[in-house]
Structure 1
Amino acid sequence: MKKKLTNLTIGLLTMICAGFWPSITIAQYRPAIDIQEWPKGKVVLTSGDTIYGALTYHRTQEIINVQHSDGSISSLSPVNVEYFVAQEMPSGRSHIFRTLRWDMGREYTEFKKPTFFEELNRGPLTLVMRETYIRRDANNSRGLAGNYLYDPSFYNTNSQWMEQVKELYYVLLPDGNVISLRNVRKDLHILFGNRSKEVKSYVRQKKLDYDKPHELVAIVNYFNTLSLATSRAF
């Protein structure tokens, strides 16, 4: 029995070292930190047309490329796109990105630019997200060189520099306004209004963390449940 366990351990370590782990699905491919590729997707245009194909999303440039079956590529900006859906394979998990008119975080302006946001849920408060990127010197960041190997937000660009994906969260209000969550916990509870105490109680009970994306979505979803229940009561 001991010999079998030893052989199993050696086999697992061999797969890890070789880069294989059968139970893990690659979510999407990033040829660069701000570029994502998915093997399957659809794009709904503002014209009403829908196109299908493999997607490449250039986040910094705000461009989505769609590869057609004949090999041709369409390059589209938020002005042309209502929304697009990127699908992972073989899991089938979908990521929805919507074009929203955004003031770019400038409070005193009427100009709003069409901008892609990833939609994380939907309800009275819709949580949406964009990315920013932090460049770090691996040689001068204590403990970073070891940590980045286990953190999917880190990308090793060369032997000296590492880049990290940082999520920026926003809330889409029912009136179409996009609110920046500069301090996620504080700003959300301002939006929760008189439901804030109930949400805080739920967060404590479930031991949820505002810094973890899936748990943050659960917090906002709980508020939406309370809000919809109140609306139905009237």
Structure 2
Amino acid sequence: MKLQSVYLLGLRGVIRFYNQKFVILALVMLALSWKANAQNWPSEVWHEGRIVLTDGDTLRGLVKYDLQQDLIQYNQPDKRTDAFSARKILFFEIFDNSVRKYRQFFALPYTTPTGYRAPVFFELLAEGKLTLLSRESIEFRTYNSPYYIGSYSRQVLVNTFFFLDEKGVISEFTGNKNDLLDLMGKKAKEVEKYIKSNKLRYDDKYDFAAIVSFYNSI
């Protein structure tokens, strides 16, 4: 009986230990998820920048953008806020402190999958015979956790890429590497070698810009 009691006590201790570890890991994952959801995305903060309107006027100051709604907010010197749709803007530029870079956006006519054509904002990433554009959105994604049963959701910044060809046609990138290399024709092998040697990823915005810039340079 004594041996059995000792065994049971030891077993309970092990179970208690792992239960505590499970709870700690669950709390850590919850905290990380909360932190990810609580962070300020680039579209949620004001940036120093300038806006060029379709009437030729240029506005300088604090700018906030919303690509999902295709709206720009401008904070006037008297603290009033004006809003402009993509129809009113030719171009805007911001300095994004989160990446320490200037970012440029253009209002370009685009036909949606439903057939509706209207100006929408695209960020310019690389310009040349093949021009790379992007649009960003904040989406909830669900992930399976390796630490506890079930899944958790968090907000992520999603970039959708587009190509602007020399005829002015904008087409969405499929995300397929072979489709990308097909666009590059005879230079595909050289570009593929550049991607591998520099360990670049075409799902990373700035890596993708480097790939297209290299293609445009050769």
Find 2:193's aligned residue among 198, 201, 204.
Answer: 201
Q: Which has the higher contact order (CA 8 A, sep 6+)?
A: 2
Query: Residues 161 and 122 (structure 1 numbering): CA distance in 2 closer, same or farther, change over 3 Å?
Result: same
Which aligned pairs between 1:1-234 and structure 2 lie closer than 5 A?
A: 35-89=43-97, 93-105=101-113, 109=115, 111-137=116-142, 141-143=144-146, 161-226=153-218
Give, in whole Å, the separation in 2 of the partners of 1:78 and 1:180: 19
What one-letter code is carried by the residue in structure 1 that aligns with 2:125?
L
Normalization by structure 1: what TM-score? 0.67
Query: Considering only CA atoms, is the larger Rg found in Structure 1 or Structure 2?
Result: 2
Contact 2:138 2:158 in 1 (8 A): yes
Task: Give ranges in structure 2 of 5+ residues lacking alignment.
Answer: 1-37
Question: Secondary structure of 2:212's partner?
Answer: helix
Question: Secondary structure of 2:126's partner?
Answer: coil
Query: Residues 137 and 66 (structure 1 numbering): CA distance in 2 closer, same or farther, change over 3 Å?
Result: same
- Moved beyond 6 Å, runs of 4+: none
Note the C-alpha offset of 1:178: 0.8
Note the C-alpha offset of 1:121: 1.7
Query: Residues 39 and 201 (structure 1 numbering): CA distance in 2 closer, same or farther, change over 3 Å?
Result: closer
Contact 1:105 1:180 in 2 (8 A): no
Contact 2:48 2:95 in 1 (8 A): yes
Note the C-alpha offset of 1:56: 1.4
Query: Residues 77 and 209 (structure 1 numbering): CA distance in 2 closer, same or farther, change over 3 Å?
Result: same
Give, in whole Å, the separation in 2 of the partners of 1:86 and 1:38: 9
Q: CA RMSD in A?
A: 2.7
Question: Secondary structure of 1:208's partner?
Answer: coil
Question: Secondary structure of 1:120's partner?
Answer: strand
Contact 1:124 1:173 in 2 (8 A): yes
Contact 2:42 2:98 in 1 (8 A): no
Task: Give ranges in structure 1 of 5+ residues lacking alignment.
Answer: 1-28, 146-159, 227-234
Give, in whole Å, the separation in 2 of the partners of 1:79 and 1:210: 31
Q: How many residues align?
A: 178
Contact 2:42 2:96 in 1 (8 A): no
Q: Which residue of 1 aligns with 2:7?
A: none
Query: Residues 38 and 144 (structure 1 numbering): CA distance in 2 closer, same or farther, change over 3 Å?
Result: farther
What one-letter code is carried by the residue in structure 1 that aligns with 2:189?
K
Residue by residue over 1:109-157, the C-alpha shift from the partner in whole angstroms, topping out at 9 and shown as x without a partner, is 5x5210001111211111111123432356xx21499xxxxxxxxxxxx
Residue by residue over 1:7-66, the C-alpha shift from the partner in whole angstroms, topping out at 9 and shown as x without a partner, is xxxxxxxxxxxxxxxxxxxxxx975x5833233110001111111121111222211000
Of Structure 1 and Structure 2, the greater helix share is in: 2
